[in-house]
Each structure stands twice: as C-alpha cells, then as structure tokens.
A and B are shown apart, each in its own frame.
Chain A
Amino acid sequence: MEENQKKELLELFADKLTRAARLYLDNCTRCGVCIEACHVYQSMPETRYTAVSRAQNIRRLYEKYFKLSGKIAPWWNEAVELDDAWMDRVWETAYTCTGCRRCMTFCPFGIDTGLIQSIAKLLLIGSDREPKVLTMLADVSISKGRNIEATKKSFAQAVRNLEAEVIEKWRSEGGEEAVPLDVQGADVLYVALAGKHSIVPAAAIMNAAGEKWSLSYFEAVNFGAFVGNPKKTKEIAQRIIDEAERLKVKEVAICECGTAYRVMKHMTGKHSFNVITFVELIARYLREGRIKLDKSKIDARITYHDPCQIARQGGIYEEPRYILKHLTDDFVDLQSNRRASYCCGGGGGLVIMGDKEFRMKSAKVKVDEVKATGATILATACENCHSQLSDLMEYYGLETKVQFVSGLVADALVQETASRKVPAATSEEPQLQLTAKAG
C-alpha cells in the first residue's frame, strides 16, 4: 500500500473517532461473552466470526496508529500495520457482519460492533475495495433524487397501472385515487420500495382506513447505509425529507424496510414530521377500529422474524405481533425473539452482494428456529429479511412461506360490499422499475 493512500485511510479512520468509537475501541476486555451472540458463529463456529474478532481487526489498527502503547510496545496489544494484506481482514469485519448488533446485548459494556464495522466500511471505500454494486445502487438513488422532475411523469403512470390491483384488495370510494401522489397536507407520506409488492398492499390498507396519504416518489431503501458511506446515506435520505417538508405531511411511514426506517428515524436528526414504520400504522388502524381483518382467511400457524433494524434498533417489537394475532389464533414466537432475535443473515447489504453460499450457511441457526415452531407462514416486516428468509427456506427445503405483514393484512381486509368492479391493467403500460430487492 502506498504511503499516500495509507495516510488518507488513517485520516478517514481519525474522522470516525468519536467519543463513542474511542470508548468502544479502548475498553474491550476480550472476555468472550459475545462469542455466541453472532448468528454466523452459531451457524459456522469459527473464531473469526465472533464480534470480538471482527472488532479486533480494527482495534489492532487503532492500537498501532492512535495509541501510545501501540507505538512503544506494539506486541502488547498486537498492533498491526495497515497494508493490503490487513485490508482483507478489514473486509471480513465489514462484510461478514450484518450490523444486527445482537452482540451489543451480550457485551457487559455494550460495545457496538456495528459502529466498529462502520469504520471498516469507510476504510474499504477509501481504498476503493467496497462492493461496487452497493455504491452503484447508492449513486442511482442519488441521481434519481437530482433528476426527479424528469421521471415524475413516468412514475405517476406506472403507479396508475397498479390501481387495479389495489382496488382488487380494497374498493375505494368513487373519485378517489387508489394510489395518491403529491397530496399537499397529507397526514401520511408513505415511502415504498421500487416494487409493486411494497405499494399495492399498503395502498389497500391505507385506503381501507380512510387515511389521507400520499405515495412518495422515492424508494425507501438507502444503499448509502449498506455500503457504509455517511455522505451518500444522508443525501439519499434527504430526498425524502425534502419531499415530506414540501408536502407538509404529519408523518412519514416507512414501508417494510428496516434500514430505511433506522436511517430516517435515528440517523437524520429531528424533523418537522414524525417517522414511523408501516407496521406501526397498521397496528394503529386496528386499535382505532379503522380496519377489520378476517381471521378465517389464514388457516396456518404463523411465526414472526424481528428485523434487527426495526426491532433491536427501533423498538418495534409488539406492533407486528399485535397485528398477527388479529390474523390468526395460532401465532407462535421463535425461540429467540424480540431483543434476542437472531439476524436473518442478509443484513448490511449481504443480500445484494451475492455470495449466497455464505448467507445460507451463516444463518442456519435461524432456519433451525423456524423449523422448531412448525409454522407454515414466517411473517416479517423488512424487505431485506424477506429476501434472505425466502432464500433460506428454499435452500434448506422448508415448506414455510415467507410473507410480509402488510401482505397478510391486505389479503384479510374485511369489506362489507361483496360486488366489485375491477379494471384490468394493460400490458403496454409502463411498469414500476425494480431497482433492487432490498430493504
């Protein structure tokens, strides 16, 4: 590694040394309590897949370049040089960890491996070694934000094509748009993903609740967060913030996408609007009696996977369970649930990056827990988790079907009138473009 590049990388490292980062890097006692926390280690018991081992890859660089002891006696804490070979270890820290932060609930000090992982990701970006697919997707999102006026018309047309499917699930009153756009003063701005599965059920549910809502022009997913680029993360989130402020909405409801929710709720400061997950909104409708669900629609045992980014990182534990208990009398939790839930194994951008073999093997512990419930439906509230869990069920030959909470709710909506007039969609009309299936 050239000296100039090393210097630049160390500057990036130094920029990340907040008070919290220093505390996390200075105080690990390597007690090993976190060892079993990681789903990867539970599934593939190799020391390198423990939270502490991943953190040590960064801590040993910190020791070398930012601590006196590393300069005087590098052997004391095994300080290491930043070089090309060590960058492979940095990669391991960044991309064998999904950033689920389960280890933080084991550590007696609460050391956040996710934060240490963010240093690793930044070093990889600085040395041009980050997964290019994530950077490319982040750039596409940013570009869309900058050129939104040019794409608005085609987006609106694509949305119109979905209205028939929305009406099939919930027949709106005459004259009402099934998927409203650009509604000034809307109570809810719903931010979906670039796919109809994220729009149609949500639209039906909000229409059923008589919500004054508007669909965002932007997709919720934040690839900047996956790749670990704080600047791009902010820019991608800012598009939605600007839109919400322009429309003067009261709430921004993020679709079933964990990372999008965490970024908008916890990583972008305070806003003039409230940020909620879509499952919170559904639970509110149920509590207020604004929607009713037909339990007879589902004749199956349901279990629920807590997406890390909305559960451990967002505190949304009970709302999805409240909803699911309105859908079935046969709900059963996974053995490790809520705060203790294992990651699905696809977080942190892993689903998008490929390497399916690693994803499948590293999440076997999750599959074992699903199998133990005997559930035939595995519900979740995150696109990323949905993709990963679906892959897992197929890989391990489980019959369990992975479904979004919103999809289950939309299919069980109770509408008094029996007769429906459903307009057919024409195949010539433009379809919503799928950017990527990730949340």
Chain B
Amino acid sequence: MIDRLYYFIMVPMVYLAVAWCLIGIAAKIVRLLKAPQHPTTLQIFPETKTPLLAALVDTFTLPTVREHRPLLWFFLMTFHVAFVLLIVAHLDLIPQLSIVSGASHHMIGHGAVGVALTVSVLYLLFRRFRAPVRELSVPSDYILLLLLFCLFLTGDVISWANSWGQNGFVLSKQDFGAYLNGLVKFTFQDPSEVLSGGHYTVIAVHVLLANLFLMILPFSKIMHSFFALPLNALRRA
C-alpha cells in the first residue's frame, strides 16, 4: 500500500501538479490581460529616462527594502538568489540539460544553496510572529512559509545526509538524474528502482511538498514572482 502511495506521489502526482500549476498561471495571466487598463498614470515622480531599466532594478535588487529594512533585504536577497540557484540545480539533475559537470556526485552548491534557503525562510517565518508584522499576517502567510521550510529541510536532508553514510553517497546526483529522466521521458518507471536506500521516504516527502507548492502557487501571493516587474513598471512610467 505504502509503495503505491509513494509511486503516486513520485510520478502521477508530479505530472498533475505541474499541469495544474501551468494551467493556473496561464489562467491568472489571461484574466489579468483581459482586465481593462487603468485610465490614468500611476507613476511616482521624479521620472527616469529609462523606466523599464529602473523597473528591472527595482524588481531584482529591492532598493526600497534595502533602504528601509536592511536586515530583511539581506534575507530576501539571499532567499531569492538561492531560489534561482535551486531551480538551476534541479534542472542540472536532468541528464539532457546537464549544466555543470556530470561527474560530481553533488548538486550545484554542494548543499549550501538549500541551507541558505532554509535559514532565510526561517527568518521570514519568525519575523511574522513579531508585532507589527504579526498583526498584518494572514494564515496563508504562515502556511506558505512553513511549507517552504519543510520543503527546504527535506531537500537539505537529501543533499547533505546522503553523503554522511559510512559507505559515502547513499544517493548521488546521478540517481536523482535517473529519476528525473524517467519523468521527463514519461516512462512511468517506479522511482524506487533508481532511488533505493533509506532516504527514499524523505525524497517522497520532499516531492509531495514540492507538488503541494506547485499546486498552491497560482492561487497564492507567490505569483508576485511573475508580476513584480509589471507592478514596478506601473510605478516607474
């Protein structure tokens, strides 16, 4: 029974979650594009000669946060940069996309990326328990951060703990690559055949949390990852 549950989480649910996420994001963008444009400017002055460039800088370097909340800015930048690296590191696992040397047993960052994410998400979570941010927060703010924390923690266990065994790597980058290769090629192969060992349960939990994250994403504030640039563009021009 548990094997079938693991299989569902590791294979069909991944496809469902990705499809759900993509359709949800597309629906959200279409709904937004269908809405009428605002009739007046929402610009804040002074003007800049290159509003798009300014909006890009605003979006990717968060200057207003740096100015008013330097500590939050540090953790936000750590979080977002590490998140991008995390996506790259996961893509690197797919043999067809191999971005860095395939010979290494480690993921990109050797586990540091996951730790950076875990620490920064913990900071973001803890600051929500302090006034006045606590008074502004709603349940989804905590749940999303908690979900991310658990997701990153299980990721840390996979990427760090697998090298702590007496026999060296229990599961290597190549093993994960084999699993993702099966997903990409729609082989519907049982992942336990390529991801054997004591960490399989942790991987299943990690994938379950990732699936949940993908399913929630289009209906949550995480969509700011797509809309931060157009939002900043409104302020700039």
Most buried by B among A27, A112, A267: A27
**B residues near A, CB below 8 A?**
31-33, 35-42, 44-47, 58, 62, 64-65, 68-69, 72, 131-133, 135-141, 143, 219-221, 223-224, 227-228, 230-232, 234-236
Instruction: Specify which chain A residues have a CB less than 8 angstroms from the CB of B139 in the assembled complex.
Output: 75-78
Assembled-state Cα–Cα distance A21/B131 (Å) = 28
Q: Are A108 and B221 in contact (CB under 8 A)?
A: no
Q: Are A27 and B47 in contact (CB under 8 A)?
A: no
Q: Are A26 and B136 in contact (CB under 8 A)?
A: no
Q: Are A110 and B41 in contact (CB under 8 A)?
A: no
Q: Are B132 and A27 in contact (CB under 8 A)?
A: no
Is A20 part of the binding interface, using a Cβ–Cβ cutoff of 8 Å?
yes
Our pick among A20, A32, A47, A76 for the contact of B140 (Cβ within 8 Å) is: A76
The tally of CB-CB contacts under 8 A between chains A and B is 135
Instruction: Specify which chain A residues have a CB less than 8 angstroms from the CB of B41 in the assembled complex.
Output: 266
Q: Are A47 and B64 in contact (CB under 8 A)?
A: no
Contact A69-B227, Cβ < 8 Å, known A18-B35, A53-B136: no
Is A115 part of the binding interface, using a Cβ–Cβ cutoff of 8 Å?
yes
Q: Are B223 and A27 in contact (CB under 8 A)?
A: yes
Is A420 part of the binding interface, using a Cβ–Cβ cutoff of 8 Å?
no
Contact A68-B219, Cβ < 8 Å, known A22-B35, A108-B58, A109-B224: yes
**A residues near B, CB below 8 A?**
17-24, 26-33, 35-36, 47, 50, 52-53, 56, 67-69, 75-78, 101, 104-112, 115, 266-267, 311-315, 317, 338-339
Assembled-state Cα–Cα distance A262/B232 (Å) = 21
Instruction: Specify which chain A residues have a CB less than 8 angstroms from the CB of B31 in the assembled complex.
Output: 22
Instruction: Specify which chain A residues have a CB less than 8 angstroms from the CB of B45 in the assembled complex.
Output: 311-315, 317, 339
Known A-B contacts: A22-B35, A109-B224. Give 12 more (CB < 8 A): A28-B221, A29-B221, A30-B133, A32-B132, A76-B138, A77-B140, A101-B44, A104-B44, A105-B44, A108-B64, A115-B42, A266-B40
Assembled-state Cα–Cα distance A77/B232 (Å) = 24
Report 13 cross-chain contacts, Cβ distance below 8 Å, ordered by A residue.
A18-B35, A18-B38, A23-B32, A26-B223, A27-B231, A47-B132, A52-B136, A69-B219, A104-B235, A115-B42, A266-B40, A315-B45, A339-B44
Instruction: Specify which chain A residues have a CB less than 8 angstroms from the CB of B47 in the assembled complex.
Output: 315
